[in-house]
Amino acid sequence: MGSMRMRGIDKSFGGFKALDKVDFEARPGEVHALLGENGAGKSTLMSVACGLYAPDSGEIEVDGRPVQIDGARRAVELGIGIVHQHSRLVEAFTVRDNLALFNPGRPVDDVMRDAQAAARDLGFEIAPGRLAGQLGVADQQRLEILKVIVSGARLVILDEPTAILSDAEGAMLMELVRRLAQSGRAVVLVTHKLHEALAHSDRITVMRGGKRVAEALPQDMTPQTLTHLIVGANVAEAFIPSGAVGAPVLWLENVFVPGEGRQRGLAGASLSLKAGEIYGVAGVSGNGQAELAAVICGIGTPTQGRIMMADRGDITHQGPADRRRQGLAAIPADRYRHALAGSASVADNFAVPGALAGAYGPWAWFNRGIMRRQTRDAIARNDVQGVRSTGQPASLLSGGNAQKLVIAREFQGKPRVVLAHSPSRGLDVRAAAAVHDRLRQARDAGAAVIVISEDLDEILLLSDRIGVLNAGRIAAEFDAPADRAAIGAAMVHHEHA
C-alpha cells in the first residue's frame, strides 16, 4: 500500500525544538506537497520518516501498523524511499553499478530487469553502461528516483526535486511524479515552488517554526494565501526600476565559447552592462547560460571575440582573481559546489577575499580574531540564520542561508559588476525576496548587475533590460516593462539555431 501516518512528532537538537507535535499523513495514489520556509522543519520531519533521525516522542504507522523506524535500512524494509535534492550517485560508476550498489544482495540482472521495466512504466529509458557523471541533472534525478523504486519503495519522498532543474526539466519531472502516484505509490513532494504544489499535488501541508500550521486542498488555496501561511506575513515583490542608469561598465563583443557535451556554448554573443542597471538574461536551458557566466567570471576563455571593462580595457584573458580585484562579484548557480567549501567553516568561507587581500595580516601572523569578528558582523547584517558558531561547517547552512553567506562575502566591498546566476534557485519565498533586495541595493549603489536565470518570473521582476539568449547569442533585447509573450517568442525562435 505505502500509507504512512505520523502523530505528535517531537524532535529537538540541544535547546532547539525542530518539530513540535507534528501530524502528517501520506496516502497511496496521491501527491502530498509539504511546504515551508528553510528551517520550518520539513526536512527534519522527512528525516524522521526515513529513519535518519529518531523522534523524541510521537507515533508512526505504516500501512496501519505501529512501527519504529530506527534507521535507514529499516525504512527501506518498510518501503520508504527518499530522493535528496543533491545527487547521491557515484559519478564514476555506471548507471548499472549505481542501481546495483543501492540494491545489495540481489542479482544484478534482476535489478536491471526491474529497473528497465520501472523506467518504461514511468515514461523514460535508461542507458545501463553510461557513467552517472555523464548524465544531465534531470537524468540523474530520474536515476535517483529509479534507485528507490527498484528497492521496493511504496512511499517516495522527493526533497526539492526540481530545485536545480530548468522550468522545462521541472515540468517533465512533475509528469513523472504524477505517474508515480498513479501507480499506487504515496508521494511526498517537499518544495519551495508554490506553483508546483498548486498544480501537481492532491493535498498541501504547510509548516512554520517546527509546527504544522495548515493542511488544505490545492483548489482551496492561492499563491497569496500559501505565502501568508508559509512566512506568517505578506511577502509581495514588485518590479522597482533603476533610478539612474550610467555608462557601460563591462561588455562582450562577438564572443565564442564552445559548449560541453550537447550544450551549445556561445556563438557570437554581444552585450553591454551599464552602471546602475540590472540586465536580465532569459533563455531556454542549454543555450549558453553556463558558458556566459563562466566567461564573465574569467573561468572560461573565448575562442573568438573579446571582453572589455571600463577603465581597464581588454580583460579577455584575465583570470578570476584579477577580475575580482577589478570589482567583479559572483554568485554562482550551484552555491554548494562553486561558491562554498562545505567542509570549511563559515568564517573561512566568508574571509577568502579578505585573506587574499591581506586584510588579516600576513600568513605567518594571520589574525583569526579579526576574521571571526568580521564574519559575525556580516552574519548579523545579512540575517544569516542557523549559525551557532562561525567555526561550524558551511555545509550545515540551509539553501537560503548559504546564499546569504555568499552574498555577504561577495558584497563586502563596493562591486562594480555583479554576476548572479540563478540567484533564487531552491530558495523559499522570504529568502528569495531577500536575495532580490540585495541585488537591487547593489544596482542602486552603482553596480552593473547581470542576472542569468531560466525563471522568467525572476527576470521580469528584477530586470531594467532583458536580453534573450538563444543558440549562444543575444537574439533580442527588451526594456522594462517588457512583454512576456514577446520574450517567450524570442526564447524559442530558431532563426539562429
What is the pLDDT at residue 495?
A: 45
DSSP 460-481: HHH-SEEEEEETTEEEEEEESS
For residue 300, being part of any structural domain is answered with yes
For residue 236, being part of any structural domain is answered with no
How far apart (Å, rounded) are the C-alpha atoms in residues 430 and 401?
A: 11
Residue 319 sits in the same domain as residue 467:
yes
DSSP 37-77: -TTSSHHHHHHHHTTSS--SEEEEEETTEEE---SHHHHHH
How far apart (Å, rounded) are the C-alpha atoms in residues 466 and 451?
A: 9
How far apart (Å, rounded) are the C-alpha atoms in residues 125 and 103?
A: 19
CA angle 450, 411, 430 (to 5 degrees): 75
Q: Which of 185, 87, 193, 72 is nearest to 131 (CA)?
A: 87
Q: Which of 386, 457, 467 is nearest to 422 (CA)?
A: 457
pTM of the model: 0.71
How far apart (Å, rounded) are the C-alpha atoms in residues 57 and 472?
A: 55
Q: Is 419 within 8 Å of 329 (Cβ atoms)?
A: yes
Residue 212 sits in the same domain as residue 332:
no
For residue 242, being part of any structural domain is answered with no
The CATH number covering residue 334 comes to 3.40.50.300
- 436-457 mean pLDDT: 92
Taking only the tens place, the pLDDT of each residue in 381-413 is: 888 888 889 999 998 887 778 888 998 899 887
Residue 191 sits in the same domain as residue 318:
no
Range of the domain at 283: 248-492
Residue 415 sits in the same domain as residue 487:
yes
DSSP 120-183: HHHT----TTSBGGGS-HHHHHHHHHHHHHHTT-SEEEEESTTTTS-HHHHHHHHHHHHHHHHT
Residue ending a domain, among 196, 231, 266, is: 231
Q: Is 37 within 8 Å of 89 (Cβ atoms)?
A: no
Band of pLDDT at residue 236, cut at 50, 70 and 90: low
For residue 243, being part of any structural domain is answered with no
Band of pLDDT at residue 130, cut at 50, 70 and 90: very high
Residue 386 sits in the same domain as residue 428:
yes
Residue 283 sits in the same domain as residue 172:
no
Q: Which three cell numbers stand for residue 48?
A: 524522521
Q: Is 266 helix (H, G, I), strand (E, B) or coil?
A: strand
Residue ending a domain, among 166, 197, 231, is: 231
Residue 172 sits in the same domain as residue 256:
no
How many distinct helices (H) and strands (E) make up the chain?
A: 16, 20
Residue 333 sits in the same domain as residue 439:
yes
Band of pLDDT at residue 497, cut at 50, 70 and 90: very low
Residue 383 sits in the same domain as residue 274:
yes
Given the DSSP bridges, would you call strands 16-26 and 4-13 parallel, antiparallel or unpaired?
A: antiparallel
What is the pLDDT at residue 455?
A: 83
Band of pLDDT at residue 339, cut at 50, 70 and 90: confident
- 249-264 mean pLDDT: 84
Work out how many domains the chain is built from and give that number.
Answer: 2
R_g over Cα of the chain: 24
Residue 342 sits in the same domain as residue 438:
yes
DSSP code for 30: -
**Which tops the pLDDT comparison, 411 or 163?**
411
For residue 419, being part of any structural domain is answered with yes
Residue ending a domain, among 231, 259, 279, is: 231
What is the pLDDT at residue 494?
A: 56
CA angle 64, 70, 71 (to 5 degrees): 110
Residue 256 sits in the same domain as residue 404:
yes
For residue 277, being part of any structural domain is answered with yes
Written as one letter, the residue type at 155 is: L
What is the pLDDT at residue 200?
A: 95
DSSP code for 303: S
Residue 430 sits in the same domain as residue 331:
yes
Length of the chain, in residues: 497
